[in-house]
A and B are shown apart, each in its own frame.
Chain A
Amino acid sequence: MSRVLSIRTTGLLVAIALGARVAAADPTPSRVLTAPTAWLPPENALLGTATMDHRFDGSVVVGYGLGGLAAVELGTDTDVRGCKACLGDKTPVYLGRAAFRIGARQDAWFPGMPAVLAGVRTTFASSGSFGRARVTEAYLVMSRELGPLRLHVGGSVIDASLRDDELGPTLQPIAGLEWTPSQYPKTTLMGDFAYVPLLEDEATADVTLEWVAGWGVRYQAFPWGAIELAVRHREDEGLGDSTVMVRVNGVWDPTVKPKIARSPR
């Protein structure tokens, strides 16, 4: 009986997946909070994201939609943390990073197909005593709109080095979920899960991975911009040490002409 229910449930989920309303164009945010999405910006669109947390650390990333097939991003962020004595002194490490993302949109090859994206993000600069830190991640992620839900699932190969220590390519899962209630079409609840390197710059350098889980709310104030309030928890971090942050997203799509209000004759 339970097996029949399971099959029915699976069938129902597949039917929902195939029959879900598909937006005219994919959404644009390249990350839920930390986990990457498979959304690609439109051709020639410019994206901008800025984050500020309660410790006044933050990030700024700009992106460009390349030919409708790919996107390039450039910016700095504090996803990675580092420590010296590593006795509760973990601090965000500012890394200059560039990313290249290539993929296919939802329904591009067959109806019901999720958006699929392969991306590489690597460092070109790092801050302070972590000046020789290098972090590179290559990921494959799928995203799909299922009615009010947006699911993101994938895997990421992460490698990082600090001085002479190197993590080595490590495969980890990434996941994200977004829900836009029909009663509040401009509001989206978000949650995600990903892994990031932790740089321990002690007498001997050590590089490990720690998980990061985030949740928050996005309010799509304008067609071209949204504001988010989110909380981020990390492994080996007490609840009081969680990071509260505000993020703003903007997109400028030159193919979308501004609507001009016409007075009735």
Chain B
Amino acid sequence: MKRVTVILASVLVTAAVARAQPVPDVPIPPDTGSGTPDQPPGPGSAEPAQGSGTNAPIPPDIGPADPYPPPPPPKPKKPLPPLYMPEVLTTPTGWLLPAAVLYSKTSLDTGGGVTSDTRVGLGDVAEFGVATTDAVRERTDEVDRSSRIQPYVTASFRLGVAENRLFNGQPGVTLGFRKSFERNHDEFKTRVAELTLVASKHLGKYFAVHVGGAFWDASLEGDLDGDAMTPRTETTLHEFDDPTKHQIRVFGGLEVRPLPRSQILLDLGWAPEFCYSCKLDATEIGLGDDPDSNKIRLKPVLSWGVRYEVARWMRLESGVRLPDIGSANLLDAQIFGQVTFTSWALRRAVDSLK
């Protein structure tokens, strides 16, 4: 009797356990809708019929949620717009840095000049920068050899319209203003300012041309007559007669890309030169000329060289600069090398906030 009880209990427990197991996998026929096989489901038959008994579809077997789901695929990066340099070698171009793009250029030459230029693009329509330049030169008198005043710190702001923005074939146009901080050197105080309007245009895939005009101003303050008895005086470029002759200059440049990552560059610009003791003598002076008008002069600067794009963020440039091509003095030629870094990091950070 006891043995029968044990056998019954075992059978009941086994049956209970077997009943608690899920049904074995049964192949589920494909869902053909609620219609008969001969009739396709109608528009209103998408919802399963409630209480239709065996015709109700079996819900899919949804497993437990994965606690470590794979990361979503990264968003495809927007292709970066082309970046055209804001300067040829020494002269500005009609191209602006794209919005939030950082630009830094450091230059070294055989004349002992060290310069830097840092800029940031503002909203695809403007650009702000702070730079040191070694282009401003000084000399004591006419026979003295000119030397550079450095560092000469300038701030610049440029605004403009990108190439082909307003209409097809439109050149890139920028209006720029560059102004120096006051510089004290050899007991003379000097300042320069430059307003430029420049247009740049690509001519096919391999050429680009830049043409612009500059309106210069500069001031020189100190003991200009060399007489310590008289007080310091100031002379400025805009005080001289005939501003067209003294203040307005045309500049330009060319770019040729014979190789995909290399460009040949050529430009002609202008730079002020201060001559502390220069004075027009009686034979040179014309009607209405200021005798001090040769204390501040603009000298033509010719540069040529090569730009090599080492990486998307780095460019190497080297070439030759003639600080005063008007005097055709080969000895003043300078070999320069410069490295330019550009960064899209700020642009990406700004884009990620949108």
Binding site for B on A (CB under 8 A): 43, 66-70, 72, 98-100, 102, 120-124, 134, 136, 138, 157, 159-161, 166, 169
Contacts and interface: CB of A to CB of B under 8 A. Distances in A.
Contacts of A69: 258-259, 262, 264, 306, 308
Contacts of B259: 67-69
B34 interface: no
B111 A124 contact: yes
Interface in B51-96: none
Contacts of A169: 328, 330
B306 A124 contact: no
B337 A72 contact: yes
Contact of B330 (A68, A99, A159): A159
Secondary structure class of chain B's binding surface, majority of residues: strand
Contact of B331 (A72, A102, A161): A161
Contacts, number: 73
A99 B320 CA distance: 9
A121 B330 CA distance: 10
Contacts of B328: 169
A160 B111 CA distance: 15
Nearest to A96: B110
Sort chain B's interface into a size bin.
20 to 34
Given A66-B318, A70-B305, A70-B318, A134 B258 contact: no
Considering the complex of A and B, which 4 residue pairs feature the smallest CB-CB distances, nearest first?
A: A67-B262, A67-B308, A124-B110, A70-B306
Contacts of A124: 110-112, 335
A166 B330 CA distance: 11
Contacts of B348: none
B305 A136 contact: no
Contact of A100 (B258, B263, B305, B330): B305
Max count, chain B CB within 10 A of own CB: residue among A100, A102, A122? A100
B328 to A, nearest CB: 7
B262 to A, nearest CB: 3
19 contacts: A43-B262, A43-B308, A66-B262, A67-B262, A69-B264, A69-B308, A70-B305, A72-B337, A100-B305, A102-B264, A120-B320, A122-B331, A122-B333, A122-B335, A124-B111, A134-B331, A160-B331, A161-B331, A166-B331
B343 interface: no
Contacts of B110: 98, 122-124
B333 A67 contact: no
B107 interface: no
Interface in B225-279: 258-259, 261-264
Contacts of B262: 43, 66-69
B331 A100 contact: no
Interface string B283-321: 000000000000000000000111111000000101110
Nearest to A121: B335
Interface of B: 110-112, 258-259, 261-264, 304-309, 316, 318-320, 328-331, 333-335, 337
A55 B160 CA distance: 62
Contact of B320 (A100, A134, A161): A100
A134 B111 CA distance: 11
Contacts of B306: 66-67, 69-70, 102
Given A66-B316, A166-B331, 9 more contacts: A67-B261, A67-B263, A72-B335, A99-B335, A100-B318, A120-B320, A122-B335, A136-B331, A157-B330
Contacts of A121: 335
A96 to B, nearest CB: 8
A39 B111 CA distance: 27
B111 A67 contact: no
A124 B264 CA distance: 24
Contacts of B307: 67
Contacts of A138: 330, 333
A42 to B, nearest CB: 12
Nearest to B261: A67
A228 to B, nearest CB: 26
Contacts of A122: 110, 331, 333-335
Nearest to B306: A70
A187 to B, nearest CB: 34
A68 B306 CA distance: 10
Contacts of B309: 67
Contacts of B331: 122, 134, 136, 159-161, 166
A91 B304 CA distance: 35
A54 B333 CA distance: 33
Contacts of A98: 110, 335
Contacts of B263: 67
A105 to B, nearest CB: 11
Contacts of B320: 100, 120
Contacts of A157: 330
Contacts of A161: 331
